[in-house]
Amino acid sequence: MRILVTGSSNGIGRAICEKFLGCGHTVIGIDVLDKTIDSVNYSHYIADIFDGELPEIGLPDILINNAGVQDSGRDIDVNLKGTIRITEKYGIHPSIKSVLFIASASASTGAEFPEYAASKGGMVAYMKSTALRVAEFGATSNSLSPGGVITDLNSHIIDDERLWKLVLNETMLNRWADVGEIAEWAYFVTAVNRSMTAQDILIDNGEAAKTNFIW
């Protein structure tokens, strides 16, 4: 199948690309950064999903909306409006099999920078709208909402021993996910799953549900 992944040059997006490539699929990446994947089955296009010229690459079988920014002054524009723009161009068509949105735990908890949380909450709502529209094609539309994920962008937390200990203590499992785990979820939800749609999956190591019950 042909897979389109936005935000493909690093972190979760790159891991998702590598997962699909490893399973024999053709992958197309869109990012504002240069290509970081070397494979004959990978094509890379540099574009801003909000206001850049989008490439004419044909229609994918699976669309994975991963591109995003945080506390940038452009969170609503990129994370929400840019994602809608990408989906309307590449995701709503008769041959689509699945559309996936990489949202955030903050979509439901609100516990992040205000515009970031709002952009991801809007993304989850738009995911459900997309599910209604692609259902006629037998396609699914879902979102993944990761909590903490070990990436270079979070190195300022991970490398601070005191802060890292405090952050992990907020989760039930005393850990964060790595990008490979999120890629595995992305693969299953899009390439294997055929019956679940319009759902947001929270992958936060129990952070949102952690409570201290005092007798």
Instruction: Report the half-sphere exposure of 162 (CA within 13 A, side-chain side).
Output: 0
% of the chain surpassing 70 pLDDT: 99
Number of domains present in the structure of the chain: 1
Predicted local distance difference test score (pLDDT) of residue 112: 84
Average pLDDT score over residue span 80-90: 98
Rounded Cα gap, residues 144 and 105, in angstroms: 9
Average pLDDT score over residue span 74-103: 98
At 103, the pLDDT band (50, 70, 90 cuts) reads very high
Average pLDDT score over residue span 127-142: 98
State pTM to two decimals. 0.96
Tell whether the model's pLDDT for residue 211 goes beyond 90.
no
Q: Is the dihedral of CA 193, 95, 56, 43 positive or negative?
A: positive
Domain-embedded: residue 78: yes
Domain-embedded: residue 163: no
Domain-embedded: residue 156: no
Range of the domain at 30: 2-149+178-203
| CB-based contact 70:43 (threshold 8 Å) | no
Tell whether the model's pLDDT for residue 214 goes beyond 80.
no
At 153, the pLDDT band (50, 70, 90 cuts) reads confident
Domain-embedded: residue 211: no
At 128, the pLDDT band (50, 70, 90 cuts) reads very high
Domain-embedded: residue 173: no
Domain-embedded: residue 129: yes
Domain-embedded: residue 210: no
Predicted local distance difference test score (pLDDT) of residue 203: 98
- Record the tokens describing residue 97, joined without a space: 């099999």
CATH number of the structural domain spanning residue 197? 3.40.50.720
Domain-embedded: residue 124: yes
The string of pLDDT tens digits covering residues 156-209 is: 899 999 999 999 999 999 999 999 999 999 999 999 999 999 999 999 999 999
Average pLDDT score over residue span 79-91: 98
